[in-house]
């Protein structure tokens, strides 16, 4: 494999990104008007790449490069990319930004009236560009440059459409967050369809369409728990409403979103934001995914295999992802 997720971000990933961006500018005929700049500063923050208008000096977009697919889904890194455009208020020609590990990417458009990062995400959501393990370097750069070309064309002409799936989900859950039974019941229905969409992507078709259960929460939970999601779907009548009504369009959108975004990190990040609202400065933060893996490995190394009734707890871990 010509590149791996453990390679240096700056020394390996950045040059590939820069090459693809420059090719994209040439393909679109924008190379006489725009240029690619590396490691520009906005205040004290260093941006990976910007596409800058040569005449005005203003930025068409910001590109933040990470190494792993999980990094692209990370709410923390998405917020980091947004903060660059937020700081660039007077220097932006367009308020677009991209977060990518080169294989996958999200595109966003900053808007102060849509303050949460997921509200700024553009359709279609996650873009799958190529595969380090399958594509040759030349083929991969060609695919990446095509992806950038299409985006830059749209950015220049201010063409965009927000992805509203997560916003609808967040608004729905935010409205019912103080009613625990409605919260758990709605999550059962919505996460069921999200998981079914993700399963469909990996060619697993065990889960039936949630609408076949006619909003019967106990049947939905039993069906999902059968597949191995007991932590989410263990049904107790005292904790759930017997039935809930969820907008059909939201179910369709969450199924499609799960089919495109199978990790669940974006959904987890939204739920964390909702339950943490008002407590942001009390030390409650989502656990970094890579740090969590390291801590888990260390716990196993120190404690060995755990018995069925044993737990390893970290009281300072926050809500986690």
Same domain, 210 and 152: no
**Smallest Cα–Cα separation from 270: which of 182, 192, 158, 164?**
164
Same domain, 50 and 147: yes
Contact yes or no for 105/147 (Cβ under 8 A)? yes
Residue entry with tokens 């991969």 = 140
Same domain, 176 and 146: no
> Helix count (H) and strand count (E) of the chain?
11, 6
Q: Is residue 52 included in any domain, yes or no?
A: yes
CATH number at 78 reads: 3.90.1570.30
Cα–Cα dist 42/88, whole Å: 6
Q: Is residue 310 included in any domain, yes or no?
A: no
Per-residue model confidence (pLDDT) at position 319:
43
Per-residue model confidence (pLDDT) at position 287:
61
Q: Is residue 254 included in any domain, yes or no?
A: yes
> Angle between the 180-201 and 165-175 helix axes, to the nearest 10 degrees?
160
The Cα-based distances of 232 to 156, 199, 214, 223, 260 in angstroms read 44, 16, 19, 12, 21
Per-residue model confidence (pLDDT) at position 321:
42
Cα–Cα dist 34/170, whole Å: 37
pTM exceeds 0.75, yes or no: yes
The Cα-based distances of 301 to 287, 293, 306, 314 in angstroms read 20, 12, 11, 16
Contact yes or no for 198/207 (Cβ under 8 A)? no
Query: What are the structure tokens assigned to 131, written together?
Result: 């595969």
* 51-56 long-range contacts, CB within 8 A, separation 24+: 51/21, 51/25, 51/152, 51/155, 53/93, 56/93
Widest CA span of the chain, in angstroms? 66
For 48, other C-beta atoms within 10 Å of its C-beta total: 23
Cα–Cα dist 29/23, whole Å: 10
Same domain, 220 and 253: yes
**Is the four-CA dihedral 4, 66, 56, 147 of positive or negative sign?**
positive
Contact yes or no for 124/260 (Cβ under 8 A)? yes
Same domain, 186 and 264: yes
Cα–Cα dist 31/22, whole Å: 8
Cα–Cα dist 247/238, whole Å: 24
Cα–Cα dist 36/14, whole Å: 12
Q: Which of 126, 156, 186 is the last residue of a domain?
A: 156
Same domain, 126 and 20: yes
Same domain, 176 and 134: no
Domain with 203 in it: 165-276
Please state the domain count of the chain: 2
pLDDT tens, the chain, 321 aa long: 899 999 999 999 999 999 999 999 999 999 999 999 999 999 889 999 999 999 999 999 999 999 998 889 887 899 999 999 999 988 999 999 999 999 999 999 999 999 888 889 999 888 999 999 999 999 999 999 999 999 999 999 999 999 988 889 999 999 999 999 999 999 999 999 999 999 998 889 989 999 999 999 999 999 999 887 877 788 999 999 999 989 999 999 999 988 877 778 778 878 888 887 777 666 555 566 677 778 778 888 888 888 888 877 765 554 444
* Nearest 10 degrees: Cα torsion 264, 265, 270, 273: 140
Same domain, 224 and 119: no
Contact yes or no for 129/103 (Cβ under 8 A)? yes
């Amino acid at each position: 494999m010509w590149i791996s997720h453990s390679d240096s971000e700056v020394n390996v990933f950045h040059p590939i990104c820069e090459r693809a961006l420059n090719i994209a500018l040439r393909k679109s005929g924008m190379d006489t008007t725009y240029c690619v700049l590396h490691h520009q500063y906005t205040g004290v923050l260093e941006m990976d790449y910007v596409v800058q208008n040569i005449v005005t000096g203003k930025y068409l977009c910001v590109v933040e490069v990470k190494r792993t697919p999980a990094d692209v889904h990370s709410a923390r890194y998405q917020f980091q990319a947004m903060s660059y455009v937020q700081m660039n208020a007077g220097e932006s020609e367009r308020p677009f930004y991209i977060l990518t590990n080169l294989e996958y990417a999200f595109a966003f458009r900053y808007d102060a009236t849509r303050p949460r990062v997921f509200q700024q995400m553009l359709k279609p959501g996650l873009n799958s560009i190529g595969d380090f393990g399958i594509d040759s370097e030349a083929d991969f750069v060609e695919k990446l440059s095509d992806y950038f070309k299409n985006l830059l064309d749209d950015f220049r002409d201010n063409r965009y459409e927000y992805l509203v799936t997560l916003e609808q989900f967040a608004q729905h859950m935010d409205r019912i967050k103080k009613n625990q039974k409605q919260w758990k019941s709605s999550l059962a229905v919505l996460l069921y369809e999200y998981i079914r969409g993700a399963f469909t992507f990996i060619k697993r078709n065990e889960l039936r369409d949630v609408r076949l259960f006619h909003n019967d929460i106990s049947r939905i939970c039993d069906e999902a728990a059968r597949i191995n999601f007991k932590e989410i779907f263990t049904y107790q009548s005292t904790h759930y409403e017997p039935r809930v009504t969820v907008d059909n369009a939201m179910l369709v959108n969450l199924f499609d979103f799960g089919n495109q975004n199978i990790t669940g990190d974006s959904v987890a990040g939204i739920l964390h934001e909702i339950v943490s609202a008002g407590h942001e400065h009390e030390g409650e933060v989502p656990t970094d995914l890579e740090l969590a893996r390291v801590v888990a490995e260390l716990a196993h190394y120190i404690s060995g295999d755990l018995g069925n009734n044993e737990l390893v707890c970290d009281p300072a871990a926050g809500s986690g992802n």
